[in-house]
């Protein structure tokens, strides 16, 4: 999946994998809640982006490489959806 910047809807900041969607799950002693999911950052695209919920020494996207972070659901694009939209008008194999 692709994580997008909080302030600019068209800026991809990282690629990652969802680890938890449980609102009661905690990260940095804070529950995820209903608007966030826990993500492991696999690839950093914008190193200087400040995390919406920094914890410990994990404050920017550069710090978050290979780490778990809380990221808002509304700023996540699932790659399967991206594939669908890109191929919707053409004959892509699924």
Q: Is the pLDDT of residue 10 over 90?
A: no
Asked if 72 contacts 1 with a C-beta cutoff of 8 angstroms, the reply is no
* Residue 1 token pair: 């999946």
Distance (Å, rounded) from C-alpha 68 to C-alpha 58? 9
Q: Is the pLDDT of residue 84 over 70?
A: no
- Portion of the chain with pLDDT greater than 90, in percent: 65
* Residue 71 token pair: 């990221």
Question: Looking at residue 85, what is its pLDDT?
Answer: 45
**What is the 8-class DSSP label of residue 9?**
T
Q: What are phi and psi of 75, to 5 degrees?
A: -110, 25
Q: What is the pLDDT of residues 55-82, one digit of tens each?
A: 999 999 999 999 999 999 889 877 654 4
Q: What is the pLDDT of residues 27-64, one digit of tens each?
A: 999 999 999 999 999 999 999 999 999 999 999 999 99
């Amino acid at each position: 999946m692709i994580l997008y910047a909080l302030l600019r809807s068209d800026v991809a900041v990282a690629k990652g994998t969802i680890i938890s969607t449980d609102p009661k799950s905690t990260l940095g002693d804070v529950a995820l809640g209903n608007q966030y999911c826990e993500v492991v950052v696999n690839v950093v695209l914008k190193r200087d982006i400040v995390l919406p919920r920094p914890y410990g020494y994990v404050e920017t996207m550069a710090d978050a490489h290979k780490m778990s972070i809380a990221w808002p659901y509304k700023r996540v694009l699932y790659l399967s959806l991206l594939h669908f939209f890109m191929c919707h008008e053409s004959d892509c194999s699924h």
